[in-house]
Structure 1
Amino acid sequence: MDSPVRLGLRANWVQFSLLVVVNAFVGAMVGMERAILPLLAEQEFGLASRVATLSFVASFGLTKALANLLAGRLGDQIGRRRVLLAGWLVGLPVPWLLMWAPSWDWVVVANVLLGLNQGLAWSMTVIMKIDLVGPRQRGLAMGLNEAAGYLAVSLAALATGYVAAAYALRPQPFYLGVGFSLAGLGLSLLFVRETRHHAALEAQQHADSQEPTPSFREVFLRTSWRDRRLFAVCQAGLVNNLNDGMAWGLFPLFFAALGYSLTQIGWLAALYPAVWGLGQLITGALSDRLGRRPLIVGGMVLQGVSIGGMLLSPAFAGQAAAMVGLGVGTAMVYPTLLAVIGDVAHPAWRSTSVGVYRLWRDGGYVIGALLAGVLADVLSISWAIGTIAGLTLLSGGIAAATLEETRPPDECASASGVPEASAR
C-alpha cells in the first residue's frame, strides 16, 4: 500500500537523499571534461582558433538550454521520473564518443548529447526536490542539490586530470564517465519515484489553488520579462553561466600559457567547482534566513571581482585565490536563483517556469563561449577574461535594481495551510 503523500525534507528524506546522489552522477558527467577537453582540442586535434575550441561549450550550452525548456514542460505533462530516465539514456554514449572520436566534430556531437543529458536529468533532480520539500526550506534543498552536482564536477575534473597526467588525454580519463552514466541510470531506474503528486498536493493547498493554469506562452513571458523578480534571476543566471562557459573553455588554456603543469591545471579546474559545491551547503540554507536578494547581488559582484583578479598576478597562489573567490560568489548565487523561482512560481506551472529560467541560464554557455572565443582570437585571452568580469559586475547591478525580496516569512507556510509534513 502506498504511503500518504507528505511534504517536507524530513518526511521525504530517503527519496531526497537518493536524488542528491543521482545529481552527483549528473554533475560528474560534466566534470570529466572540464580539465582536459580544451587541451585535447589543441594537442590532439590541432585547433588554433579559440572559437573553434569553444565550439564544444557552445553546442553543449545550446542543447542544454533547449532541453531545460523541454524538460520543464514535459515534467508537468508526463511526469518527472520519465524525463529523468530519458536524460540518462541519451547520456550513455557520451564517454564512448569522447574516447574514440576521430575528429573534433565527433566531440561536438558528444557534447550535444551531454547537453541533453544535463538538461533533462539535472532539471528533474531540481524540480523533484522542490516538489518534495514543499514551501519551506527551498534554499536548503537547492543548496544540497547543487552542492552534490558541483562537488561531483570538481572531483571528476580532479580525477580525470590525474588520470590524464598518468596515462594520456584519452581514452583512460573517460572510462570514469562510463561508470558515472551506468550508475546514474541504474539508481534512477530502480529506486527513484515520481514526485508530481507532491506538487499536486501543494497546489491544492496553495492560496491560489483555484487559479487557472496559464499557457506555456504566458509562463514563458512571465518568467522571462513580465515579472521583475523572475527577470532578475533569468539575467543573473544567464551571466553566471556566461562566465562559467568562459571558465570551462578558456581557463585551462590561460593556465597553460602561464606555464602550469597538467596536474596544476587539474587542481585549479577542480578548485572553483569544489568551493562552489561546498559553499552551497551553507548559502542555500542562508538564503532561507537572510533572504535571496543580498546573496544574489553580492554573489554576482564577487564573481566579477574574482574573474578580474585573475589578470593581476601570474602566481599560482593568486590564481587559486581567484578560483576560490569565483567559487564562493557562484555558490551564493546558484541555489538562491532557483529558490526564487520556487518562491514565485505557482506549483501548477513551476516545472515549466524552472525550465524557462534554465533555458536563459544555460543559454549563457553559448553566449559566453562565442563572446570569449571571438575576443580571445581578435584581442587576447586576457581581454576576454576582463570583458566577462565587467559583464558580471553589470549583472549584479541589474539584479540590485530589479530584484525584490521573495523569501517567504517564517509564518508563510502555516499561513498558507501547508505545514512541512501534512497529508490530505
Structure 2
Amino acid sequence: MPVTPAHPRPLQESRQPIRLGLKENWQQFALLVLVNVFVGGMVGLERTVVPLIGTEVFQIGSEVVIFSFIIAFGVVKAVTNLVSGLLADRYTRKRILILGWLVGIPVPFLLGWGPSWNWILLANVLLGISQGLAWSMTVNMKIDLVGPRKRGLAMGLNEAAGYGAVGLTALLTGYLASAYGLRPEPFYIGIFYTGAGLLISWFLVRDTRAHAQLEGRQISKTSVGEKAHTPKTHWVFAETSWRNKTLFSVSQAGLVNNLNDGMSWGVFPLLFVSAGVGLEGVGWIKAIYPVVWGVGQVITGPLSDRIGRKPLIVWGMFLQALGHVVIGLGMAHPFAAGMLGSVLLGMGTAMVYPALLAAVSDAAHPSWRASSVGVYRFWRDMGYAVGALMAGVVAAVLGLEWAIHAAGLLTFLSGVLVWRSMQETLPGR
C-alpha cells in the first residue's frame, strides 16, 4: 500500500501562552533592542557627513537648502509615524517592521553614490519612511511585551539602543570621512545595518499585538481616565494633540525636543567647522550628544517608573536649554563648548525621551495606544523639520549662533508649559 507523504506544516508564530512582563519576554525584547541598534545606526550615517557633502561636494551656499534634507526626513518620518501607529492597531506589528527595512535598503547607496543633491533628498524621504515604520514598531512591540509596570525601563532600553547607535555611527563616519573622504566609504556601514536588521526582523522577531490585546482586557481605564474603545482616527489625533492637556503637553515637548536635534543636526557641523574644528572633532561633538542621550536612558527610563514622568520631562527640558546657552556663548573655545554643551543636551534628552513615551503609553488605553503613540511621534518628529527650517532661516538672517539661542529659548518655554499643564501619568501617583 503506497504511503502518502505528509504535507509540511507551515511556519507559525509560537503558540506559548501570552504573558506580560520583561522577564517573561526577555528573549524577544532583547532581539528588538538589537534591531533598534541597526535602526538608529541608519540615522547616525547622516549626522556628521551629509551637511558637509552639501557644502563641499555639491557646493551649496544656502543654509536652508542644505538643511532641506533634514526637513524632508522630518516631515516624511512624522507622517509615517502617524500612519504606522494606525496600521499597527489594524495589522501585525511584524509586517510593518519588515516593510520599514525593505524601504530602507536603497538609502546607503543613494547617500554614497547619488550624483546630485536631489538624490540625497530622495534618500532622506526613504529614510524617513523606513524610520517611521521600523522605529515605531520597535517602540510599540516593547510596550506590548512588558506591560504597565516596567514601561519606563522598556522605553529607556529601546531609545538607549537606538540613539547610542546614532552617536557611535556618527563618530565612526567622522573618522572614515577624515581618512577616506566624504563618500562613499562612510556609508558602507549602512549596507550592513539594513541587511542585518531585515534578516533578524523577518526570521526571528515575533508579532506582539496579542500582548496589547491581553493588557487591554485587564485595564478598564488609564491613570488619566481614558477608557477602552475603538475610536475613529480623527478622535485619537485630537485627543493626543490638544484635547487631553497631558497628552498635549507631552506632544509639544516632544516636538521641541526634536527641534533641538534637527537644529543641531544641520547647524553643528557647519558652525564648528567654520570655527576651526576638524572633521574628527566635529565627529566627537556630534557623537557625544546622542551617546549620552542613549546611555543615559538606561538610568532615566527605570527612574521614571519610580519618581514619575513629569519631573524628568520638566527638568530635562531645562537642562537642554542650559546646553544651548553653553554652546551659544562659548564659541571662543568651540571644541570645549561643543563637547560640554552636547553632554548637557544629551543628559537633558535622556531625561525627557523615555518619560515622554512612557507618559503617552500610560495615558492612552491599550485599545488605541499604538495610534496615540503614532500621533505623539508625528508631532515629535515634525520637530526635525521645524528645527531645521527655523535654524536655516535664523542662520541666514542673524548667523548660526543665533539659531542655537532661539532653540534654547523655545526649550525653556516648553519645560514651563509641561510644569504648568501636565498631569502625572505614572499609575499609582
Q: Shorter-chain-normalised TM-score: which range?
A: over 0.9
Counterpart-to-counterpart distance in 2, 1:313 and 1:2 = 59
User: Which of these residues, 116, 130, 142, is aligned with residue 143 of structure 2?
Assistant: 130
1:26 aligns with 2:73: no
SS state at 2:89 partner: helix
1:118 aligns with 2:131: yes
Listed as ranges, the matches of 1:152-191 within 5 Å are 152-191=165-204
Counterpart-to-counterpart distance in 2, 1:98 and 1:329 = 31
Identify the residue that residue 368 of structure 2 maps to in structure 1: 349
1:324 aligns with 2:337: no
Counterpart-to-counterpart distance in 1, 2:275 and 2:381 = 29
Identify the residue that residue 252 of structure 1 maps to in structure 2: 269
Residue type of the partner of 1:21? L
Residue type of the partner of 2:153? L
Counterpart-to-counterpart distance in 1, 2:75 and 2:299 = 30
- For normalisation by structure 2, the TM-score amounts to 0.94
User: Which of these residues, 363, 366, 385, is aligned with residue 366 of structure 1?
Assistant: 385
Counterpart-to-counterpart distance in 1, 2:328 and 2:265 = 17
RMSD over aligned CA atoms reads 1.1
Counterpart-to-counterpart distance in 2, 1:224 and 1:353 = 9
Listed as ranges, the matches of 1:257-272 within 5 Å are 257-272=274-289
Give the 4+ runs in structure 1 shifted more than 3 A.
Answer: 208-211
Q: How far apart are 1:206 and its partner, in Å?
A: 1.2
Identify the residue that residue 255 of structure 2 maps to in structure 1: 238
Identify the residue that residue 416 of structure 1 maps to in structure 2: none
- For normalisation by structure 1, the TM-score amounts to 0.95
SS state at 1:220 partner: helix
Identify the residue that residue 290 of structure 1 maps to in structure 2: 307
Counterpart-to-counterpart distance in 1, 2:66 and 2:228 = 48
SS state at 1:279 partner: helix
1:302 aligns with 2:316: no
Deviations 1:65-120 (A, max 9, x none): 00000100001111100100000000000000011111101100100000001100
Q: How far apart are 1:396 and its partner, in Å?
A: 0.6
Identify the residue that residue 151 of structure 1 maps to in structure 2: 164
Counterpart-to-counterpart distance in 1, 2:107 and 2:45 = 11
For these two proteins, the number of residue pairs brought into alignment is 410
Counterpart-to-counterpart distance in 1, 2:402 and 2:362 = 38
Residue type of the partner of 2:37? A
Identify the residue that residue 212 of structure 1 maps to in structure 2: 229
Counterpart-to-counterpart distance in 2, 1:409 and 1:284 = 17
Say if 2:228 and 2:367, in contact at 8 Å, map to a contact too. no
SS state at 1:310 partner: helix
Q: How far apart are 1:403 and its partner, in Å?
A: 0.7
Identify the residue that residue 62 of structure 1 maps to in structure 2: 75
1:392 aligns with 2:411: yes
Say if 2:263 and 2:387, in contact at 8 Å, map to a contact too. yes
Higher mean displacement: 55-64 or 306-315: 306-315
Counterpart-to-counterpart distance in 2, 1:104 and 1:296 = 37
Residue type of the partner of 2:199? G
Identify the residue that residue 104 of structure 1 maps to in structure 2: 117
Q: How far apart are 1:208 and its partner, in Å?
A: 4.3
Identify the residue that residue 224 of structure 1 maps to in structure 2: 241
Say if 2:220 and 2:228, in contact at 8 Å, map to a contact too. no
Identify the residue that residue 417 of structure 1 maps to in structure 2: none
SS state at 1:109 partner: helix
SS state at 1:77 partner: coil
Counterpart-to-counterpart distance in 2, 1:318 and 1:253 = 15
Percent of aligned positions that are identical: 57
Identify the residue that residue 422 of structure 1 maps to in structure 2: none
Identify the residue that residue 199 of structure 1 maps to in structure 2: 212
Residue type of the partner of 1:343? D
Q: How far apart are 1:409 and its partner, in Å?
A: 2.1
